[in-house]
Each structure stands twice: as C-alpha cells, then as structure tokens.
Amino acid sequence: MSRSLSKFLQIAIPLGLGVFLIWYIYQSFTPQQLEETKKYFADADYGFVLLSVALSVLSHLSRSYRWSFMLEPLGYKTKLANNFMAISVAYLMNIFIPKSGEVSRGIILDKYEGVPFQKGFGTIISERVVDLIFLLFFTVLALAIKFDVLYEYVVQSIPPSLLYVIIFGIVFVGISIPLYIKFSKSNINKKLKNFVIGLKEGIFSILKMRRKAAFLVHTVIIWGLYLLSFYTALHALPDTTHISFGTIIITFVVGSFTFAFTNSGFGTYPAAVAGILTVFGVAKTVGVAFGWIVWISNISSIVFFGVLSLLLLPLYNRKRLKL
C-alpha cells in the first residue's frame, strides 16, 4: 500500500464512520423522537455546558504547565503561553487528521521555542503514554464497577457463537502481535519495534524526571478536570443529572476512547455515549442529545482556541522571529 493511500485511508475511514453513525442514528429515529431530541437541545441548561467547557480549558492549561516539566531536563525552559497555544493548535488539527496534532505541537515548539522537533516530539509521545495508562486505569475501574450489567448486556446482545469468535480473535491478536514483533523482519515490523522502543524510552524518561511529583500531580489534575467537566455537563439535562457514579465513569471512558482514536469523536462520540447511556436505562433521545451537546461545545471551544492560537503565535513571538 502506498504512503499517500495509507494517509488518505487514515483520514477517510474515521470520517466515513462518523458520517455513517450520524446517518444511522438519524434514520433510526421516528419523527416524534427527533422532536424530543430537539426539545432537549432547546431546554438544556447551557450554564452547566459553559462551566464544563471552562473546566476542559483548565485541563489544557494544566497540560501546558506539565509539558514544561518534561522539557526542562532537556535544557529548555519554554513559555507557558507557547505551550498552551501549541496544544490548542494540536487539538484543532486532530479534528481534521487524527494524530496530526502531535506533529504540529513539535513543529510549533521548534519554530517558536527552538526545541528540536525530535526532542519535542519525544516528550509528546512520553506524555501520551502516561495518558494512556490513566485511561486504562479508568477503563479497569469502569469494568470493575459495572461488570455485572455489562456482562449481562453482552450475553443478551451477542450470540454465544459470535462471542466465542470475538474472544478467540482478541486472544489470537494478543499472542500474534508480540510474536510478530519479535521474529518478523518486514518494514512494518521495524516501525512497530521503533514504536515499542519509543514507548519504553518515554516511560523511562518520566522516571528520570527531576520534578516527578509535580508531573504526577498535574496528570491527576488533568484527568480529574476531564472527569469533572463531563460530570458538570450531565447537569445540563434533567434526565442525566442523577445517573450513578459507575455509569458516569464508563460513559466517560467510552467517550474518551472515541476522542483519542478518531477525528476528535466526530459522529462516534455522540453515538457511543448515547449507546452506553441507553444500556443503563437512559432514553435514547436523551443520550443522543447529551452526546451532541457535549461534543459540539467541546469542539467549538477547540476551534475557537485553536484558530486564536494560530493567529496569536506569530504576534506573541514576533521578537524571536526577527532574530
């Protein structure tokens, strides 16, 4: 497969999935359900939505500050404003091309702070490893809290024969990938090995950090603000205000995965959030309305701060650019 085709598919597949899910939800609704969903949009308490967005922006600010702890051992003391604007642009880029934001962060830091791209990009990979660990922690927590309900839902929804095939497939892939990485000599395997090496280096670079405690505190703050932002948004609709802690955690986890592995959750976030909430007894119309309210508000914030950062970066750093 050519590189251009591979890049095209990386963009087209998530976008296509998002469009399909939007169409699927829309066509599955009756006219009455569509009217109900519109009413939820109209009656939502947007004060809670704005507070939710504000908490999300604070998490980005904490992430910007945390980044400086990783750059400091490399000999670079970057400005908080540049860190924040680089991260804002990265989130904006991820809407259109998944994972392109990480590259843009490295480029911006190189241009405006003089941090070589390879070093800056290495710190970004390292922090993504930490974020993945925290996301997996929340995943395990969610499964532990709601395992019985999820197990019953899976057993009732998926035929046993298909369930066995899925389990076998997961086990097969789990065994095959390590063996492939160890023994294969293909170009793809070389990339996989480099990726694994990068992950290891990222983890060990964190262990060597001088301000490990501060880094950990800000990581907890970031994920705490993510969860608090999601919890606050639930109060925008009366029907989602009183859902249980376990349901909040698992819905938060599912939503986080869609943001992390697609075009910032385009189409997939509302569908996934609505699907999980439906499992736990929330009406489908409520779940869809809530998912779209949260997604649209967050994306609007990302676009606003991303575009503003693109405009302000050259102005804020005009003295450096003249050098």
Rounded Cα distance, 39 and 196, in Å: 48
Q: Are 60 and 67 in contact (CB under 8 A)?
A: no
Domains: count for the chain: 1
Cα 160 to the center of its chain, rounded Å: 32
Please classify residue 211 by burial: count the beta carbons closer than 10 Å to its beta carbon, then call 0-12 exposed, 13-18 middle and 19+ buried: middle
pLDDT of amino acid 219? 93
pLDDT of amino acid 108? 92
pLDDT of amino acid 169? 79
**Nearest alpha carbon to residue 208 among 120, 123, 84:** 123
pLDDT of amino acid 98? 73
Rounded Cα distance, 84 and 109, in Å: 11
pLDDT in tens, the chain (323 residues): 555 655 555 556 556 665 666 666 666 666 777 788 788 888 899 999 999 999 999 999 999 999 998 888 878 889 999 999 999 999 998 888 777 888 899 899 988 998 888 888 888 888 888 888 888 888 888 888 877 777 776 666 566 676 677 777 778 877 877 776 666 666 666 666 666 665 566 566 677 777 888 888 999 999 999 999 999 999 999 999 988 888 899 899 888 888 877 777 777 888 889 888 988 889 989 999 999 999 999 999 999 999 999 999 999 988 776 55
Q: Which domain, by its residues, includes 118? A: 3-322
The tens digit of pLDDT for each residue in 150-171 reads 777 666 656 667 667 777 777 8
Rounded Cα distance, 308 and 13, in Å: 29
Please classify residue 60 by burial: count the beta carbons closer than 10 Å to its beta carbon, then call 0-12 exposed, 13-18 middle and 19+ buried: buried
Predicted TM-score of the model (pTM): 0.81
Question: What are the start-end ranges of the H helices in 114-244?
Answer: 117-157, 160-183, 187-207, 212-234
Rounded Cα distance, 211 and 320, in Å: 28
Structure tokens at 235: 């109060």
Structure tokens at 162: 């298909």
Cα 308 to the center of its chain, rounded Å: 21
Rounded Cα distance, 281 and 289, in Å: 15
pLDDT of amino acid 125? 83
**Nearest alpha carbon to residue 69 among 221, 249, 220, 205:** 205
